[in-house]
A and B are shown apart, each in its own frame.
Chain A
């Protein structure tokens, strides 16, 4: 690993503008890191030639002063974002070899601002998973290991490739997506910062859909400032996405270091779940203390419908997914397995193209939308969703500015540890994060310390709608207060 990969995004940006380094040097260093880290399986496709061409163009713009806010910054792109002329798979066999003729809105904005693409990052198939083990292209290994152990750990999911690549210094930041925790949980598992912005803040156009009413794009970065810088380029109204919201994008970086004095932080008692490890409880208490020390007012709040969130989420998300994934039928693009007739072609293609977890969720989603079950499942889940949203609205109406919770119920677990188990156990990873998607709110996961085994643990801040700035300033307080964790030992290069 070279020094250049040890810069933060903000440092690299400033060094580029000051012409202390070139985009080509910076990109080359990261290409080297990517190539050396294939053991992590973080990338599905590496695009070094494209990266160098983009870096050279960035150097030109840096030279003539026409550079954008991310000029020359090498990034990894979650393989759920469609990238023009670069294979986009969503981690699925059914899209293997699919090369879009179009670029997602969010990545277009990153390239508009000068960023450089290193390649496409591994993920759980169609973003369905919490460990990155459902990818057709194999599990991603976390760069972190338990102290004194060589056992491979999961980086979390579904944005496991993004989190692992950022944590291992393979890129300065990465795009990710979050439907039930897929940015925040892997960020927490890898000691990185991940923010899921308010629903509608980023365009979904060109991002392979999982559950349309829950999906949101967001960045994973190594610190709060870097994530704020990325957020500014990723956010914005898009007339091509009817659910995107037309409001100005603030300069989020300015929120870093803003005082949180007088802010009211709610602590929801319902997030103290059964079986939560004392470590997590202690971490939470520590976070409360840091925010209080910074001048915030801490109040106990109640979000009474929290316990219904996970079951309701696992109805709504699969329902939408079952419909969103109907287009992968072998007719127009992607995998096609021949059959005697059209029905057999559908069956063979989808049986071969989708992995087990995706098939499971399509089955659940189809079931809950079926005649006779719709009211009992889908409709009730939607009502619960309304109630969850109201819980948050009530808290905010009572003066709460943000809510502090643990990001995950535990630290990262081992690859294969939960694969054979009841899928519910895997789903429980999202217990603290799904409520935020159900309510469409912004949420940020920020590293707060290490477990007794030396693994990263994160806290989550949940904000008011479109108050990403508030989250950045509060997360930055936690970041400043938390002990500096050492990088994982480089065992992969």
Chain B
């Protein structure tokens, strides 16, 4: 794909994004081609399974192996998935698209060509709203999304003098999502890919599993002096994690700046990112670039569908992250950041809504984001494998809201539910963890502390911030069960401060 080739330069220069070279500031211009594996049972043009992790060459049909006389037949589910993704990217859906052959020789490309969509992609222009930080939102425009076949895998580590080929991936459907060069930093690129992944996971169109290679990106990077025309770009191929995408951009921008500041010029070329050495290096130069000899695949008719097909898919779309976030802010009164964190994964958002169901939403959000996510991260668990289920956390939140338990007790209770399980209400009842709101009991404790510490009383009257010490003592005596607000009020009244 060619980026940077039309007047695509729409973002205003932001001084905060500039990076400093030896001779002044530079602006990074970046566009991404994200290759997302379509979630489907079978391949784009054959009935072979797409399941990951099978024995080599066990998911290979005659078509995938390009046996003589074999013909591709489009998998309708992959088409539906591409359209769903296009709708999720607020993009134009093309009711007629065509498949082209991209010709090149490689042992893991059995046909000698990849079937892709060159001239007329299934999805046209769209846009993605990306939260870069809690305070900054950008829009990354989508140039196009097209369907194409994945290649197989060459294995060079099986024998000292032979290479092997595994065709399990050969023919698996990929969506190539091409952005316009709207990205200005590594951080933005990471946030953009994260958002794309979130959208596709919501849609169920790509599992976004980077370890299994379900999401990879070709990263186009160039640099320029602020205000100047676009520079020559390099394409960093096949970067396979969000973290590496960020690193690759930073490293490549630095490399280009160094060359330019030394009076050199950038060669347009394809490069590889080596995360181990933290550098990019040339794969092949423009002179040896492939001539892919694209032409329409005569084995496939144009892909055509009507409005009803698109509208049927649209009607079946789930609530997408942007809509969900807006609803969380509106209906639950959450802050933008908290809402964003909760909707990043559909499972988290669903979990939160179950916790918040009938309870105080802000307390629910606070507990899901801080206590639950913190604990899950620490133990390498996910929402799906969380020992604390939504209804359990919901019960805890309810008891906090109704002042049945204090915040401190709630944390103890969360710990018990996490490690032992059980009904939180039952645990509170069985173990006498109910917050003491009975003013008589609290008053007795307050009186006892005041009587035992006349010196502190005198200090507190002189310096009201000493109140905290008394509160601590009362809480200690009541085993943390006293309602802190009630203790506060009572102490203030007794001490006359």
Residues of chain A touching chain B, judged by Cβ–Cβ distance below 8 Å, are: 81-82, 88, 90, 95, 98, 100-102, 104, 204-209, 211-213, 239-243, 319-320, 322-323, 325-327, 329, 331-333, 342, 346, 366, 369-371, 374, 378
The answer to whether B71 touches A204, judged by C-beta atoms less than 8 angstroms apart, is yes
25 contacting pairs across A/B (C-beta < 8 A)? A81-B69, A82-B67, A82-B69, A98-B68, A100-B67, A102-B67, A206-B69, A207-B69, A209-B69, A211-B298, A213-B298, A240-B71, A240-B73, A243-B301, A323-B112, A323-B295, A327-B68, A327-B110, A327-B112, A329-B112, A332-B67, A369-B294, A370-B293, A371-B293, A374-B293
**Chain A residues within an 8 Å CB radius of B103:** 322-323, 326, 369
**Chain A residues within an 8 Å CB radius of B105:** 326, 329, 346
Q: How many A-B residue pairs have CB under 8 A?
A: 97
Interface centre among A208, A320, A331, A346 (most CB of B within 10 A): A331
The answer to whether B293 touches A242, judged by C-beta atoms less than 8 angstroms apart, is no
The answer to whether B295 touches A378, judged by C-beta atoms less than 8 angstroms apart, is yes
> For the complex, what is the distance from the CA of A329 to the CA of B74, rounded to whole Å?
25
The answer to whether B298 touches A320, judged by C-beta atoms less than 8 angstroms apart, is yes
* The one of B73, B74, B101, B291 that contacts A323, using a Cβ cutoff of 8 Å: B101
**Chain B residues within an 8 Å CB radius of A366:** 293
Residue B107 is within 8 A (CB to CB) of chain A in the complex: yes
Output the least CB separation between A106 and chain B (Å): 10
Residue B299 is within 8 A (CB to CB) of chain A in the complex: yes
The answer to whether B69 touches A205, judged by C-beta atoms less than 8 angstroms apart, is yes
Output the least CB separation between A88 and chain B (Å): 7
The answer to whether B73 touches A242, judged by C-beta atoms less than 8 angstroms apart, is yes
Residue B113 is within 8 A (CB to CB) of chain A in the complex: yes
Output the least CB separation between B475 and chain A (Å): 74
In the complex, besides A205-B70, A327-B111, 14 extra interface pairs with C-beta distance below 8 angstroms are A207-B69, A208-B69, A209-B68, A242-B71, A243-B298, A243-B301, A323-B112, A323-B293, A326-B105, A326-B113, A333-B67, A342-B107, A370-B291, A378-B295
Output the least CB separation between B134 and chain A (Å): 47
**Chain B residues within an 8 Å CB radius of A206:** 69-70
A369-B111 in contact given A100-B67, A208-B68 (Cβ < 8 Å): no
The answer to whether B65 touches A88, judged by C-beta atoms less than 8 angstroms apart, is no
Output the least CB separation between A329 and chain B (Å): 6
The answer to whether B69 touches A374, judged by C-beta atoms less than 8 angstroms apart, is no
**Chain B residues within an 8 Å CB radius of A333:** 67
**Chain A residues within an 8 Å CB radius of B376:** none
**Chain A residues within an 8 Å CB radius of B68:** 82, 88, 90, 95, 98, 100, 208-209, 327
**Chain B residues within an 8 Å CB radius of A207:** 69
> For the complex, what is the distance from the CA of A101 to the CA of B112, rounded to whole Å?
21
Output the least CB separation between B143 and chain A (Å): 21
**Chain B residues within an 8 Å CB radius of A370:** 291, 293
> For the complex, what is the distance from the CA of A241 to the CA of B71, rounded to whole Å?
6
Residue-wise, chain B 186-228 has the 8 Å CB interface mask toward A (1 for contact) of 0000000000000000000000000000000000000000000
Output the least CB separation between A76 and chain B (Å): 18
Output the least CB separation between A214 and chain B (Å): 8
> For the complex, what is the distance from the CA of A329 to the CA of B112, rounded to whole Å?
8
> For the complex, what is the distance from the CA of A458 to the CA of B300, rounded to whole Å?
34
Output the least CB separation between A173 and chain B (Å): 21
Residue B3 is within 8 A (CB to CB) of chain A in the complex: no
The answer to whether A371 touches B74, judged by C-beta atoms less than 8 angstroms apart, is no
The answer to whether B66 touches A327, judged by C-beta atoms less than 8 angstroms apart, is yes
> For the complex, what is the distance from the CA of A293 to the CA of B83, rounded to whole Å?
59
- Interface residues on chain B, size class: 20 to 34
The answer to whether B300 touches A242, judged by C-beta atoms less than 8 angstroms apart, is yes
> For the complex, what is the distance from the CA of A229 to the CA of B72, rounded to whole Å?
30
**Chain A residues within an 8 Å CB radius of B65:** 332
The answer to whether B113 touches A323, judged by C-beta atoms less than 8 angstroms apart, is yes
What's the dominant secondary structure at chain A's contact region? loop
Residue B62 is within 8 A (CB to CB) of chain A in the complex: yes
**Chain A residues within an 8 Å CB radius of B67:** 82, 100, 102, 332-333
**Chain A residues within an 8 Å CB radius of B300:** 242-243
> For the complex, what is the distance from the CA of A15 to the CA of B301, rounded to whole Å?
44
The answer to whether B69 touches A331, judged by C-beta atoms less than 8 angstroms apart, is no
The answer to whether B299 touches A326, judged by C-beta atoms less than 8 angstroms apart, is no
Output the least CB separation between A362 and chain B (Å): 11
Residue-wise, chain B 291-314 has the 8 Å CB interface mask toward A (1 for contact) of 101110011110000000000000
The answer to whether A212 touches B293, judged by C-beta atoms less than 8 angstroms apart, is no
**Chain B residues within an 8 Å CB radius of A332:** 65-67, 110
**Chain B residues within an 8 Å CB radius of A82:** 67-69
A331-B299 in contact given A323-B293, A370-B291 (Cβ < 8 Å): no
The answer to whether A319 touches B71, judged by C-beta atoms less than 8 angstroms apart, is no
> For the complex, what is the distance from the CA of A207 to the CA of B62, rounded to whole Å?
13
The answer to whether A212 touches B107, judged by C-beta atoms less than 8 angstroms apart, is no
Residue B165 is within 8 A (CB to CB) of chain A in the complex: yes
Output the least CB separation between A249 and chain B (Å): 20
**Chain A residues within an 8 Å CB radius of B293:** 322-323, 366, 369-371, 374
> For the complex, what is the distance from the CA of A366 to the CA of B112, rounded to whole Å?
13
**Chain B residues within an 8 Å CB radius of A95:** 68
Output the least CB separation between A209 and chain B (Å): 7
> For the complex, what is the distance from the CA of A7 to the CA of B300, rounded to whole Å?
42
> For the complex, what is the distance from the CA of A303 to the CA of B379, rounded to whole Å?
77
Output the least CB separation between A35 and chain B (Å): 28
Output the least CB separation between B393 and chain A (Å): 51
> For the complex, what is the distance from the CA of A66 to the CA of B74, rounded to whole Å?
37
> For the complex, what is the distance from the CA of A95 to the CA of B100, rounded to whole Å?
26
> For the complex, what is the distance from the CA of A98 to the CA of B70, rounded to whole Å?
15
The answer to whether B110 touches A331, judged by C-beta atoms less than 8 angstroms apart, is yes
> For the complex, what is the distance from the CA of A230 to the CA of B73, rounded to whole Å?
27
Output the least CB separation between A284 and chain B (Å): 33
> For the complex, what is the distance from the CA of A90 to the CA of B113, rounded to whole Å?
21
Output the least CB separation between B70 and chain A (Å): 7
> For the complex, what is the distance from the CA of A50 to the CA of B300, rounded to whole Å?
35
**Chain B residues within an 8 Å CB radius of A104:** 69
Residue-wise, chain B 106-127 has the 8 Å CB interface mask toward A (1 for contact) of 0100111100000000000000
**Chain A residues within an 8 Å CB radius of B298:** 211-213, 243, 320
Closest A residue by C-beta to B68:
A208
**Chain B residues within an 8 Å CB radius of A319:** 295
A374-B295 in contact given A323-B112, A342-B107 (Cβ < 8 Å): yes
Residue-wise, chain B 267-295 has the 8 Å CB interface mask toward A (1 for contact) of 00000000000000000000000010111
**Chain A residues within an 8 Å CB radius of B72:** 242
Output the least CB separation between B154 and chain A (Å): 9
**Chain B residues within an 8 Å CB radius of A329:** 105, 107, 112
The answer to whether A242 touches B301, judged by C-beta atoms less than 8 angstroms apart, is yes
**Chain A residues within an 8 Å CB radius of B112:** 323, 325-327, 329
Output the least CB separation between B122 and chain A (Å): 16
> For the complex, what is the distance from the CA of A382 to the CA of B163, rounded to whole Å?
40
**Chain B residues within an 8 Å CB radius of A326:** 103, 105, 111-113
The answer to whether B73 touches A239, judged by C-beta atoms less than 8 angstroms apart, is yes
**Chain A residues within an 8 Å CB radius of B107:** 329, 331, 342
**Chain B residues within an 8 Å CB radius of A331:** 107, 110, 165
**Chain B residues within an 8 Å CB radius of A346:** 105
> For the complex, what is the distance from the CA of A180 to the CA of B168, rounded to whole Å?
37
8 closest cross-chain pairs (CB), A and B: A326-B112, A213-B298, A369-B293, A212-B298, A327-B66, A206-B69, A208-B68, A82-B69
